[in-house]
Amino acid sequence: MAKKEELTIEEKLQTALISKEEQPYEIPDSWVWGYMFFAFAECLDKYRKPVNSAERANRIGKIPYYGATGQVGWIDDFLTDDELVLVGEDGAPFLDLLKNKAYMIQGKAWVNNHAHILKSFYGHFGNLYLLNYLNIFDFSKYVNGTTRLKLTQSKLAEIPIPIPPKKEQQRIVEKIDSLFEKTKKAKELIQEVKEEIEMRKISILNKAFRGALTKNWRRENKTGSVLELLQEIQNEKIKKWEEECREAEKNGSKKPKKIKVSKPEEMIVPKEEEPYKIPDTWKWVKLENIITILGDGLHGTPKYNENGEYYFINGSNLSFKNIVINSSTKKVSTAEYKKYKKNLNERTIFLSINGTLGKTGFYNNEKIILGKSVCY
């Protein structure tokens, strides 16, 4: 039998490199496009081996056990002892450009069959270059499957990779690390600014409700008596109640319960019960004395109807200003709405009283019924 002829260097290069017309995009003249296994990295999948959870439970040790996207446990033995790049075979977020599909391991390790094992031909910086490239690579043409995408070894081998000279690979990796560090610091600064803004908002609100923001304004402007304002509120509540009584009489329905009317002096909180000091022209009163109605939503669950025109909202639907209705907000029918609707108007304010406490929102004629975690 004739001995198979060995490929020449030129033929090997022809196999490893990508022809001009098939190159994904233009690169510097000193770079080349190559196929993953032929030109950049060795595939070491022969060193991976799955171990089921029952067996692993009896073999817990100090060696990390790796899967598609990272470490998934510990084991008592190792199959590799090197710096390697792992990329998911299945179970990795291949189509999410913001999530990592590859990661690096060092030292003794055991890799299961949900990750491919790669080692760059170009050493440590080659591994880092490969890691970064795989994490931004568009895998859409190289994975298959419907519910669980899979990157086969043969498809991984076909992945094109731009290859710079070895020293430039190092420079690229160092530049990436430097820029990533700057990005990290920028994110930290942004977070600090956000926190400072929130603290600033709290400080402003505290000053507002202690009279500090209008201290100079009060010196220059005469303000009406708080007692007069409280009397106006009482008069408005009486007027509203009388209107509701007339409406009930007209419709032949039950009249609303008679409201409690207090003198302005009786509405003021005693000095010893005041939470903190306020300007002399201000007065502390209880919430019930300055609102027309206080209630909450349905203590139970309505009948949902995905074709309904009305929404069932809770505290999670409040955003400190508006009502937020999204795709997960449940819907109810017109009949359910009529059964549980509340007397809401343009002056209605919502407050979350369960779960995320303290969120607020204003009513803007939304088609809604309220859950028990919203009061109004």
Q: What predicted TM-score, i.e. pTM, was given to this entire model?
A: 0.58
**DSSP-assigned beta bridge partners for residue 162:** 33
Q: Distance between CA atoms of 229 and 215, rounded to whole angstroms?
A: 20
Q: Are residues 299 and 369 in the same domain?
A: yes
| Secondary structure class of 227 (helix, strand, coil) | helix
For the chain, what is the domain count? 3
pLDDT digit string (tens) for the chain, length 376 residues: 445 566 554 555 567 788 888 899 999 999 999 999 989 999 999 999 999 989 999 999 999 999 999 999 999 999 999 999 999 999 899 999 899 999 999 999 999 999 999 999 999 999 999 999 999 999 999 999 888 899 999 999 999 999 999 999 999 999 999 999 999 999 999 999 888 888 888 899 899 999 999 999 988 888 888 888 888 888 888 888 888 888 888 888 888 888 887 888 888 999 999 999 999 889 999 888 888 788 888 888 899 998 889 999 888 888 878 888 888 899 999 999 999 988 888 889 999 988 778 889 899 989 999 989 998 8
Domain that holds residue 42: 12-165
Contact call for residues 131 and 88 (beta carbons, < 8 A): no
Q: Residue 202: inside a domain, yes or no? A: no
Q: Are residues 54 and 114 in the same domain?
A: yes
Q: Residue 194: inside a domain, yes or no? A: no
Domain stops at, among 165, 185, 206 = 165
292 contacts: CB under 8 Å, gap ≥ 6: 236, 237, 240
Q: Are residues 17 and 54 in the same domain?
A: yes
Q: Are residues 17 and 160 in the same domain?
A: yes
Q: Are residues 125 and 41 in the same domain?
A: yes
Q: Residue 33: inside a domain, yes or no? A: yes
Q: Distance between CA atoms of 376 and 374, rounded to whole angstroms?
A: 7
Domain stops at, among 215, 250, 280 = 280
In which order are the strands placed within the sheet that holds 374-375?
Answer: 360-362, 349-352, 374-375
Alpha helices in the chain (DSSP H): 9-16, 53-57, 123-136, 153-157, 166-208, 215-220, 226-251, 264-267, 334-340
